[in-house]
Structure formats: structure tokens, C-alpha cells
A = this chain, B = another copy of it.
Amino acid sequence: MKNYVFTPGPVAVPSEVLLEMAKPIIHHRTKEFEAIFAEVREGLKYIFDTKEEVFVLAASGTGAMEAAVVNTLSPGDKVLVIDGGKFGERWGKIARAYGLETAELKVEWGYSADPAEVEKILDADPSIKAVLFQASETSTGVLHPTKEIAAITRKRDGVISIVDGITGVGVFPIEFDEWGVDVLVGGSQKAFMLPPGLSFIALSKKAWKFYESSKLPKFYFDLKPALKNAEKNTTPYTPAVTLIIGLAAVLRRFRAEGREAMHKRHEKLALAMREAMKAIELEPYVKSVPSPALTTVIAPPEIGSSKVIKALASDFGITVADGQDQAKGVIFRISHIGDIDVTDTITGVAAIESVLNGLGYKFNFGAATKKASEILSAK
């Protein structure tokens, strides 16, 4: 059976990229690798929409989230965490593990944060040094308003925005320089269509000022040595050579496709999936702005999501993700990132219909696939 990965990371890796990474390994202290790394640095700046350096860490996304905190803050600093899901919660855990004080803006799962609330909290408490949030909260499928929140923090000299863009960067527009985002984190196993093991982080000039006064301990994730090394097209510690070679390959592909076309691709696949699910009366989990990275759908309550997920795997070789924590068994999550195209998405929709029918859900069988086809075939 063919294998379809519709999970919001890991994602399907293009086979030409897998084969690129399967070539005999090269050493990282060579002209050959330096040339690849120079190309990667330029490509990442293009995708991150910035003139600043974008660092490549041998770590998964959580490592880069930790790097965001330890490179900008000091023990006892107070930060505002927007917690509207599993990954918002993680910002809080990282901050507290490093002895930061956290104020929390709790957002109900399935809803986007309200920038006005952020502003109110910052106005009321000038001791807050940073606002930490997700551009796209993968546990709920919600988009938080990055542009609006960055507009609030950029007005304040003493506050930076720290954005988890792990399922955001490359998926939809996050204009790092233009919007005044201060720290932005990405991950290889998302829009970058690579296996997990690499993460990315960019710092604004304002964030580098925070670095200078930051007193949190750091070594492996210290970005100052990484900056000095990046300027010589290398890394302070052994880089994940094969993944970086894969990264160079996908970045070449992205250049050819174009940043805006990438965003449109995700938007179109997401729209088709959302509308298809609505066409068979499945309720979206997102009550405000949905992320183009993934669609979160409430399974028919009499069936539950776990059975749907299991049947997709056994009958069609399709992996989608269950909900996490409070959403476990309630929703299923289908991603639109990675090496997934129009035909895969129609396949996914048709499989969901078939599985729901098999599980006894009463609906207009075929309506979802028709809706997806209509949207995906539109020019």
C-alpha cells in the first residue's frame, strides 16, 4: 500500500530530496560544504523574509524555542505567554524552566488570540519583556495574529515578540523585517519538507540588543558564536550535514516556485479541505482564523476521531494526526504542508469519505470529494 503522510510534521519528503541526502557524505569543514551553507543562508533569508541571519540548529523545533528564550532574556524576567493550545503551553513551560515569571493570556482552544487583550496586558504591566506565541498553533489549527501582535511590541522599546513559526514559516506570510517580528523559529519537518532534526531561528536587531543584556545560561544554543561562524559559512558545532544538503535542495525548489506561490499552494489545499469537510457537515474545530498549515475537523461525535484515524491508516495507508490532550479522540488533523499536492489532497478527501461511510456516518457521500475537486481545479 502507498504511504501518505498527512500529519503536521513529520511531512512527506520529496523523493529527489531523500536521494540527495543519500549521496556519500561530505565533511563540514570543506569548501564544498561552505558553498552549500552559503546557499542555505540566502535561501532561508528569502523564506523568512528578512535581511537578518537565520540560524540552522541541529535540534528539533523545541530546541529552537528554547534558543529563543535563552538568547534574549534573564532570570526573573516577566514574559507574556499566549496559551491557546499544546504549543502555547510549551512556551510557558520553557519560560518557567528557565526561571522566568510568566503572565498568561489563556485563549480557548480553537480560537485566535485578540491583539487588543495583548495590548491591555502590556499597558497594565510595563515589566513584561516579551510576548511569546505561535503564528500557527498546531494542536488546534488556529492562526494567531502575528502582524498585529508584532505591531504592538514594536511600539515598545522594552518588549520583543517571540514567535513560534514552526508550522508558519514558508506556509503563509510572516514578514519578519516588515512587520517587526523580533524572534522567529522554524522547523525542518514542516513547510520545508524535510525530515525532523533541524530548526531555524532569526533575531531582529532589537532582539540582538536583548541578547547583549541577557543573562540566561546558554552554550549549545548560544547564537553569538553561531553568528560569527555563519559569516564564514560554517557552524560552531558539527552541523547535521545531510539534512542541510536536503535543505539546500528544497530551498532551490522554493526559489523556483516563489515564496508567494508557496503560500498560495498551502492556502488552496487548506481551503479545499475545509470546504470539503463542511460539505459533508463535519464541524471545523477552529472557530476563528484557521491556519493554512492544517485543517482540524471534529469527527462525528458518535464515532470519535480515533476510529477514523485508524481506518485511514489501515484501509488507505494515510496517516493523519489525532487531537492532543483535551482534543484527543475528538478531532483529526490533516496537514497541507510537505510534499503534498492537489492529487494527494483529493485522495485524502475521498479516503475520509469512504472511511466515514464504512463507520456508519450518514451523509451525502461524494459531496466532499466534489467540493475539493471544484476548488482545486479552479485556476
A interface residue numbers (CB < 8 A to B): 3, 5, 7, 9-13, 15, 18-19, 21-30, 58-63, 65-66, 93-94, 97-99, 187, 189, 195-198, 216-222, 236-243, 313, 319, 321
Contact: B62 with A195, CB < 8 Å?
no
A299 to chain B minimum Cβ distance, whole angstroms, is: 18
Interface centre among A11, A222, A243 (most CB of B within 10 A): A243
Is B219 a contact of A98 with CB atoms below 8 Å?
yes
Is there an interface contact between A97 and B218, defined as CB atoms closer than 8 Å?
A: yes
Residues A196 and B241 in contact, CB atoms below 8 Å apart: yes
Structural contact, A12 and B30, CB atoms closer than 8 A: no
- Cβ A217 vs Cβ B61 within 8 A: no
Q: Residues of B contacting A29 with CB < 8 Å?
A: 321
Assembled-state Cα–Cα distance A219/B319 (Å): 29
Chain B residue, CB-CB nearest to A13: B25
Q: With A60-B58, A219-B97 as given contacts, are A196 and B240 in contact (CB-CB < 8 Å)?
A: yes
Q: Are A66 and B7 in contact (CB under 8 A)?
A: no
Q: Known contacts A62-B236, A94-B219, A99-B217; can you find 11 more A-B pairs with CB under 8 A? A: A12-B25, A27-B319, A28-B196, A60-B237, A195-B240, A195-B242, A196-B240, A196-B241, A197-B197, A216-B217, A240-B243
Q: Can you list 22 A-B contacts with CB-CB less than 8 angstroms, sorted by A residue number?
A: A5-B27, A9-B238, A10-B26, A12-B24, A13-B25, A15-B22, A18-B23, A19-B22, A21-B22, A26-B319, A58-B58, A59-B220, A60-B239, A61-B237, A62-B237, A94-B219, A98-B217, A98-B219, A189-B238, A195-B243, A196-B238, A240-B243
Asked whether, in the complex, the Cβ of B12 is within 8 Å of the Cβ of A28, the reply is no
Known A-B contacts A97-B218, A196-B58, A219-B62; the reply to A319 vs B9 at CB < 8 A is no
Please indicate the chain B residues that have their CB under 8 angstroms from the CB of A218 in the complex. 97
Instruction: Give the number of copies in the complex.
Output: 2
How distant is the Cα of A40 from the Cα of B159 in the complex, in angstroms? 44
Q: How far apart are A27's CB and chain B's nearest CB, in angstroms? A: 5
Q: A93 → chain B, closest Cβ, in Å?
A: 7
In the assembled complex, the Cα of A319 lies from the Cα of B26 at a distance in Å of 9
Q: Determine how close the nearest CB of chain B comes to the CB of A220; give it in whole angstroms.
A: 5
A28 with B3: CB separation less than 8 A: no
Q: Which of B12, B59, B62, B187 is in CB contact (< 8 Å) with A63?
A: B59
Q: Which of A3, A61, A240, A241 has the most CB of B within 10 A?
A: A240
Give the distance in Å from the alpha carbon of A196 to the alpha carbon of B197 in the complex: 10
Whether B26 lies near A197 (C-beta < 8 A) is no
B97 in contact with A241 (CB, 8 Å): no
> Which residue in B3, B26, B63, B243 is a CB contact (below 8 Å) of A220?
B63
Chain B contacts for A19, CB-based, 8 A: 22
Report Cα–Cα, A248/B300, bound state, in Å: 39
Distance in angstroms between the alpha carbons of A25 and B335 in the assembled complex:
15
Q: Looking across the interface, which residue of chain B has its beta carbon closest to that of A239?
A: B196
- Contacts A30-B319, A189-B238; A22 near B22 (Cβ below 8 A): yes
A100 nearest in chain B by CB position:
B217
Tell me if B220 and A62 are in contact (CB < 8 A). yes
Q: Tell me whether A217 and B97 are in contact in the complex, defined as CB-CB below 8 angstroms, given that A12-B25, A13-B25, A18-B22 are known contacts.
A: yes
